[in-house]
Amino acid sequence: MLKVLFVDDQVEMLKPLLNLVKNLLKDVTILAESSGAAGLERARVDKPDMIFLDISMPGMDGYEVCRRLRQSTQTESVPILFLSSMDLTMKEQLEAFELGAVDFLRKPIQSVELATRIRVVERLNNYTQHLEELVAEQTQKIEKQQLLAARTQRLAAMGTLAAGIAHEINQPLNALKVTADGLLYWKDRDEHISEEEVFDGLRFISKQCFRIESIINNMRDLVQQGSGGEMVSVDTHNVIEQALSLIGQQLMSHGIEIVRHFEQGLPHCLGSQTALEQVVLNLLTNGMNALDSIQSNNKQLVIETRSDAELVTIRVIDNGPGIPEEKLESIFDPFYTSSPATEGMGLGLSITQNLIVSMRGSLAVENVEGGGASFIITLPRASA
């Protein structure tokens, strides 16, 4: 049964009209209250499908009743129609619509007009509910598809990760096996093998074990998003100089000039000094590798710093060959590398990005006009 609530201080005068409407609409239950307060309580208890409100009522007028109905989760979506015996100004009509009214009826009202209006609002309400159900259903489907897509992406990433690990570890494992089998082969044949050859084999085995250990440590760094350490106020320039003290001589030996463009009075950033130093080292090493791939007498690594009200930015720019546009989106993916397979497993930039994310920052890359690549670190200011 459709429930319709009328709230009017002259409800007794409305009863003949409401009785006529009952006769016209056999499936409608009509409820009536003579004050705003009583109407609010009736709406809370009986949960009507629509409400007709008189605007001019003593104590609590229709506008206030409408406002309170809209504030309640039980009645916030119930259609409300205002009743008025006077012509409303444009301002009054706009106020009513802003409060959530769907229509106006002017008194006196004919029974057929009122019955017709109830049917129209009922249909609109049914259409709205049906539309909401369709939206909810489609939303569930979209969410399910998104979950499936996310799961597929995770599985794909796990596949890439597993394949990369298998490939990287298989190489030293095969070398271990070949070396160990070779030593055993000569032992089984009772062939003489010098002590130096045995120790050469053992040194090679130790080297391959160290390589496997490095791969495992790199993997641990990759998956530990929170490995950045405690978030503290960090002197950015001091971190950069510390990193340069570790790799500066190596850069010079590769014929690379370091250029500093530091902002004077740069504020401290919020992060981990150890993690940020590792990030800068990784980017400098990445730039060195890029510059090693070209023949030039003017190899440069430029380090820029600047800040704004919220962020501290570090740029590491090389004048090397740059990054192919089609590979820019993949540059931070695990196991992506443009280097030969023997020179690394492509985890450096992925680990670097994870470290920056763990410090609530971001790492981006772009090509530089005229050649070269620019890696941009942004971190929150310590004061922010």
Residue 215 has pLDDT above 60, yes or no: yes
pLDDT digits (tens, 9 = 90+) for 14-27: 888 888 988 888 88
Residue 375 has pLDDT above 90, yes or no: yes
Per cent of the chain over pLDDT 70 is 86
Residue 43 has pLDDT above 80, yes or no: yes
Question: How is domain 148-223 classified at the CATH fold level?
Answer: Helix Hairpins (1.10.287)
- Mean pLDDT, the chain, integer: 82
Residue 230 has pLDDT above 50, yes or no: yes
Residue 276: Cβ-neighbour burial (10 angstroms; 0-12, 13-18, 19+): buried
pLDDT at 272: 87
Tokens of 34: 């003579």
What is the Cα 108 distance to its own chain's centre?
A: 56
CB 323 within 8 A of CB 287: no
Nearest to 102 by CA among 75, 130, 85, 121: 121
pLDDT at 260: 95
Q: What is the CA radius of gyration of the chain?
A: 37
Tokens of 1: 């049964």
Neighbours of 259 (CB within 10 A): 11
Neighbours of 198 (CB within 10 A): 13
Virtual torsion, Cα 112, 115, 119, 120, nearest 10 deg: 60
Tokens of 76: 């916030």
Question: How is domain 2-109 classified at the CATH fold level?
Answer: Rossmann fold (3.40.50)
pLDDT at 313: 96
- The residues, ordered by sequence, that sit 6+ positions from 343 with a Cβ below 8 Å of its Cβ are 289, 337
pLDDT digits (tens, 9 = 90+) for 247-302: 887 888 889 999 999 999 999 999 988 888 888 988 998 899 889 988 888 999 99
Cis check: omega of the bond before 79, within 30 degrees of 0:
no
Listed by start position, the domains of the chain span 2-109, 148-223, 232-380
Mean local confidence (pLDDT), 163-184 = 75
> Facing residues of 317 across strands?
302, 374
At position 366, the amino acid (one-letter code) is: E
CB 89 within 8 A of CB 95: no
pLDDT digits (tens, 9 = 90+) for 321-353: 988 887 777 777 765 555 443 344 345 677 788
Mean local confidence (pLDDT), 88-97 = 75
- The residues, ordered by sequence, that sit 6+ positions from 353 with a Cβ below 8 Å of its Cβ are 332, 363
Is CATH 3.30.565.10 correct for 232-380?
yes
pLDDT at 164: 56
Mean local confidence (pLDDT), 210-226 = 62
More confident residue, 320 or 183: 320
Q: In a 3-state reduction of DSSP, which class is residue 80?
A: strand
The Cα-based distances of 265 to 237, 260, 312, 380 in angstroms read 10, 14, 12, 16
Lowest mean pLDDT among 100-109, 117-126, 195-204, 225-234: 225-234
Residue 242 has pLDDT above 50, yes or no: yes
Mean local confidence (pLDDT), 19-43 = 89
Residue 152 has pLDDT above 60, yes or no: yes
Nearest to 81 by CA among 160, 8, 183: 8
Nearest to 37 by CA among 9, 56, 65: 65
Nearest to 5 by CA among 35, 29, 37, 36: 29
Q: How are beta strands 311-318 and 50-54 bridged, if at all?
A: unpaired
pLDDT at 342: 38
Mean local confidence (pLDDT), 17-39 = 89
Residue 124 has pLDDT above 80, yes or no: yes
Residue 196 has pLDDT above 50, yes or no: yes
pLDDT at 150: 65
